[in-house]
Structure 1
Amino acid sequence: MWSSRKAIISAVVLVALFFVLRHTTSSQSQPLDVEIPTPDPQAPTRPYPPSQAAGAAKQRQPEQQILHDIASKPLRKKLEYYFSYDIEAKFPGYIWQTWKVGPSSGAFDEHLRPLEASWTEKHPGFVHEVITDLAAEHLIRYLFASVPEVPEAYSAMPVPVLKADFFRYLILLARGGIYSDIDTEALKSAVDWLPPRVDRSAVGLVVGIEADPDRKDWADWYSRRIQFCQWTIQAKAGHPVLRDIVARITEKTLDLKAKGQLRHGRAPTDVSIVEFTGPAVWTDTIFDYFNNRDYFEFDSKSENITAQDFFNVKEHKKVGDVVVLPITSFSPGVGQMGAGEPDDPMAFVKHVFDGSWKPEDERMQSM
């Protein structure tokens, strides 16, 4: 009986995975997005020539001459090779979410249905996939088969919350599009997240501010003075920020594994989840990118971009190829830190913050 049940589950997972990969493969050549050719009259706060950006189209040797050598390259070089970045591409029309079962299952939580449905309703031309926990394991192994360190790290993570955080970076790195937690509601289509004045061919990553606490005891409540949200992210595949955070998490995970510090069902004791895979490391990675001379031009007067540059942001702020949205965009209605209400013109996604429906020992919980 148990063998039959396992066979049925495996078959269901493989069928689901087949449709996910078929959708992503067939859609990748024609991403679903709206081109807005109007140039941005506002100069970015960091000079960013696309021709010099890591991940922009590069001259490569014939593939046959270098494939045999790729396996010996450092992790970051392999990620750069297999997941290249084209800033001028359209944002892929994919919406990725995760949950323990799919919406077609009777076990799908009823109060999550209108939230999940809002993404399809607001994005009728997009491919919207809710990836189950079991299918996520197979999907990561498939997408990162050429970089085996990544699926090894993913499988080694001892608690679901770590895998949930890691998955969002991985799927966006490999396929691009939008990742959003299952407890979020789409208030406006992503087509309207950027104003007409912003040239989308010069944007590769869209993030929102999660926390901007103007109080002396901010460190008692948040990990960073300015903290970027990671429950909703829009990106083009291969973006350098995604490559960097995937490399950081992979290296940290494999280091802990080698030291015997990862125990199934127990969170690591020497690093918090927020710092390991959550908004703290996500925020650090974005700031490191803003100040990386490999991607941006610096002159003698250039200063590092810091949290202070994002205090009390009320509109879109473009830094190189990254657009930072104000706290209202992904956190409307929180009643603090200057966030507007859900009917604010800048409110795009509402996060319900309903932690009760995803206990840590049962579900890929987000922090």
Structure 2
Amino acid sequence: MPTFRKFLLAAICLVAFIFLIRSSRPADVPGAPGYKPVQEIFDEEQESLLRPKKKTKTRQQQALGTYGTAPLRDRLRYQFPYDLRSRFPAYIWQTWKYAPSSAWFDENLRAAEASWTELHPGFTHEVIGDDTQRHLIQYLYGSLPDVFEAYDALPLAVMKADFFRYLVLLARGGIYSDIDTIALKPAPYWLPDELDRSKVGFIVGIEADPDRPDWHDWYSRRIQFCQWTIGAKPGHPILRDMVAYITEEAIRMKRAGILKVGKMDKTVMEFTGPGAWTDAVFRYFNNPEYFRILPGEKNVTYEDFSGQTTHRKMGDAVVLPITSFSPGVGQMGAMDTDHPMAFVKHNFDGTNTLEIHITTRR
């Protein structure tokens, strides 16, 4: 009997000891049961917003396959949020077949490539070679496998080069410029001093302004925006729209078996190039999600930029005149490289957290 009582007493003491230990452990410290960091709560709230209310797949999701339950644009928005108030990242991105450290790097491009480093001593300047581009996109978009699939499936190097610039700017921001461009002025001088940088998230230049009846014989759009040099803060809606458009079209054509040279139902110009890029910029300018468009107000069109000779701010975007990124072309009103508005010269030697900011457009 004494043995039984001792055993019972020991058991009671053990249970009491365990209870005291569990009850004395703080419940609001990292690692404790029931603890949930504020960021984790925020992330879960964001994820719940991205979950569709219905479990049935849309036709688009059925066509693209299962890459998550939310539309691609929402997943891009979540993965790469846009904060207008943030600083422009001090990155300069360029691509070429080989890195500058390679013996195979084209000597004719060294002066142009060096101009970006010399004029931007405080920037991180990266020239991404063909052998590392794929790995970088796979790293940046690891949580968005449909985007990487689209990039990997593109059949032409020029398409991958086009897509890469939108992808790297969406994810990291900064400046992208083709390897055969020469920096004439440092990027901080591209905007006038009186312009509040905290209210600018995107910089684009006019590539072509062909004010002539046969303009369509030479260019894809009456006003064509330049995509050989782009400046943006990460997550900008124009880049998100462009990445989503190319991804969706690439996967659609891949599923249809036509994402091949000579079989695609879109030209490079209308798929990844300046035509599609110009359309994305205009879609943004006419999107009521980002701009307060007054009743009866006409859409923003080429007429708003034709003949432009100085900066034009549209919401958080700044459009530069043709002289800024196309000086010295000798046509369409472009001035020479010594003009105060000349910032980047293209030699054409290469082959290849304010998400919704309602504002008036003018």
TM-score greater than 0.5 by the shorter chain: yes
CA deviation map 1:262-321 (0-9, x unaligned): 23xx25432110110000010000001000001111222422110000010000000011
CA gap 1:267/1:61 in 2 versus in 1, 3 angstroms:
farther
Q: Structure 1 residues 268, 350: closer, same or farther in 2, change over 3 A?
A: farther
Task: Look up the equivalent residue of 1:307 and give its one-letter code.
Answer: Y
The alignment status of 1:321 with 2:310, answered yes or no, reads no
Find the partner of 1:351 among 329, 340, 346: 346
| Corresponding residue number in structure 2 for 1:143 | 140
Partner of 2:106: 109
What is the SS of the residue equivalent to 1:153? Answer: helix
Q: Is 1:230 equivalent to 2:210 in the alignment?
A: no
Residue type at the aligned position of 1:96: W
Q: Distance in 2 between matches of 1:267 and 1:91?
A: 40
Pairing 1:331–2:326 present? yes
1:220-265 CA-partner distances (Å, limit 9, x unpaired): 00000000000000000000000000000000000000000123xx
Q: Structure 2 CA distance, aligned partners of 1:60 and 1:287?
A: 37
1:123-143 CA distances to partner (integer Å, 9 max, x unpaired)? 000000000111010000110
Does residue 1:97 correspond to 2:94, yes or no? yes
Larger radius of gyration: 2
Residue 128 of structure 1 aligns with which residue? 125
Please list, as runs of the form range in 1=range in 2, the aligned pairs for 1:114-193 lying within 5 A after superposition: 114-193=111-190
Q: Are positions 1:260 and 2:257 aligned together?
A: yes
Residue 85 of structure 1 is matched in structure 2 by 82
Cα distance in structure 2, aligned partners of 1:250 and 1:267: 19
Q: Distance in 2 between matches of 1:61 and 1:322?
A: 33
- SS at the partner of 2:204? strand
Tell me, yes or no, if the aligned pair for 1:159 and 1:267 is still in contact at 8 Å.
no
Q: Secondary structure at the match of 2:166?
A: helix
Distance 2:113 2:155 in 1: 27
Change (3 A) 1:236 1:267: farther
Give the Cα separation in 2 of the matches to 1:261 and 1:253. 9
1:294 match = 289
Question: CA 1:208–1:66 in 2, change beyond 3 Å: closer, same or farther?
Answer: closer
Alpha carbons 1:287, 1:305 under 8 Å: kept: yes
**Greater RCO structure (CA 8 Å; 6+ sep):** 1
Gaps spanning 5+ residues in structure 1: where? 1-58, 359-364
Corresponding position of 2:206: 209
- Which residue number corresponds to residue 305 of structure 2? 310
Normalized against structure 1, the TM-score is what? 0.79
Query: 2:42 is matched with which residue: 62, 75, 81?
Result: 62
* Equivalent position amino acid for 1:135 in 2: T
Task: Report percent identity of matched pairs.
Answer: 61
The answer to whether the 8 A contact 1:267-1:273 is kept is no
Partners of 2:83 and 2:266 in 1: CA distance: 34
DSSP 3-state at the match of 1:256? helix
- The CA distance in 1 between the partners of 2:45 and 2:274, in whole Å, is 40
Aligned residues of 1:176 and 1:237 also touching (Cα < 8 A): yes
**What's the offset of the Cα at 1:64?**
3.8
Q: Does 1:221 align with 2:201?
A: no
- Name the aligned partner's letter for residue 281 of structure 2: I
Distance 2:216 2:243 in 1: 26
Q: How far did 1:61 drift?
A: 5.7
Give yes or no for contact 2:269–2:275 (8 Å, CA) kept in 1.
yes
The question of whether the paired residues in 1 share the 8 Å contact of 2:82 and 2:236 is answered with: yes
Superimposed CA distance per residue, residues 7-66 of structure 1 (whole angstroms, 9 cap, x where no aligned partner)? xxxxxxxxxxxxxxxxxxxxxxxxxxxxxxxxxxxxxxxxxxxxxxxxxxxx99632455
Question: Aligned pairs, how many?
Answer: 297
Q: Distance in 2 between matches of 1:60 and 1:312?
A: 50
Contact 1:209 1:229 in 2 (8 A): yes
